[in-house]
Structure 1
Amino acid sequence: MDSRKRIIVSFVLFVTVFLIGVAGFKVIGGPEWSLLDAVYMTVITVGTVGYGETHDLGANPAARVFTAAYIILSLGTIAFAVTSITAFVVEGELKRILGRRKMEKEIGRLEGHDIVCGADETAQTIIQELLTTKRDFVVVDPDRAKLDKIAAAAPLLFVEGDPADDEVLKKAGIGRARGILLSLPTDEANLFVTVTARQLNPGIRIVAKGIDVKSHDKMVRAGA
């Protein structure tokens, strides 16, 4: 059973055990116990807080046996729920770490690939074209949600981070890349990454999106 199903089962078990407790204490208490009394007894029994019984159970052996059995049952259910949640968190984190390492190794083997900086509509159009032509590429963007959304639609190698950061571009393999395509939110960002990319790989082909026509000459002078 995978961790997600275990969490669902844990929730169902917990609700079931809680209802069993309420029903059991209501039956044991009889007419003298209200539904609220039964709920209260269930809560303090499950929580093992021991604030005090609403009614004395000392003279009722059946009630004492039920309470003891119910404590064991509820503790077992709580233990199962805790281990399920822990497994879900650890498993998810482990998958993320292993997936990241696998992706880093795949990026490390690339030669003559392209780097796409950005995850906007323009970048996604470029990505689709690269996928269609079956060219190797890496996407760089600081927004993990956007990267995951694109990766959900097609196999994708990506680096989460700011393209203006030298180390992020190095992780994307800029020293071995054939080209870099810039589709960042501002001309300033595209210009800055153009300069950075040219410094890190003097022979790389740079294509940068220009939002303002006045930025065209600056992009060209910077190396795009």
Structure 2
Amino acid sequence: MIVAIAVAGYMLMERFNIVDALYMTVITLSTVGLMEVAELSPGGRIFTIVVILTGVSTLGYAAASFVEYLVGGHLVARGSAVAPSPTPPTSPRRPADVAFPG
């Protein structure tokens, strides 16, 4: 969705054709920063800043979600799901609560 919005933005603001707009979007979002297609207007520069910040923020959010997924115990290990360990009881069992054979 970010790519589509950025391509449309470059096409509308800078009058780029679709290939040039896509190229600008890819080099901006990937933070490669290769040669620009053409000199950007001040509005185009601000738009580029917004595209960069949006892309970096989205990548950061995705990375944080992935780490949370890993740490949360949602991985599949050796063919079986690893479940989070159950919480211990709040109070220890008293000897009278334990049934002994006999």
Q: What TM-score do you get using the length of structure 2 for normalisation? A: 0.68
Structure 1 unaligned residues grouped into runs of 5+: 1-15, 103-224
- Alignment deviations for residues 107-155 of structure 1 (CA, whole Å, 9 cap, x no partner): xxxxxxxxxxxxxxxxxxxxxxxxxxxxxxxxxxxxxxxxxxxxxxxxx
- Equivalent residue, structure 2, for 1:21: 6
Answer 1 or 2: which has greater strand percent: 1
Deviation of 1:98 (Å): 3.5
Alignment of 1:14-163 (within 5 A): 16-30=1-15, 33-57=16-40, 60-91=41-72, 92-93=74-75, 96=82, 98-99=84-85
Aligned residues: 81
Deviation of 1:47 (Å): 0.6
In 2, the alpha carbon distance for the partners of 1:79 and 1:17 equals 14
In 1, the alpha carbon distance for the partners of 2:66 and 2:5 equals 23
Deviation of 1:83 (Å): 1.1
Answer 1 or 2: which has greater helix percent: 1
SS in 1 for 2:39: coil
In 2, the alpha carbon distance for the partners of 1:56 and 1:72 equals 20
- Give the CA RMSD over aligned residues: 2.1
Identity of aligned residues (%): 32
Q: What TM-score do you get using the length of structure 1 for normalisation? A: 0.33
The one-letter code of the counterpart of 1:39 is: L
SS in 2 for 1:55: coil
SS in 1 for 2:57: helix
Higher RCO (CA-CA < 8 Å; seq separation 6+): 2
In 2, the alpha carbon distance for the partners of 1:21 and 1:90 equals 33
Deviation of 1:55 (Å): 1.1
SS in 2 for 1:98: coil
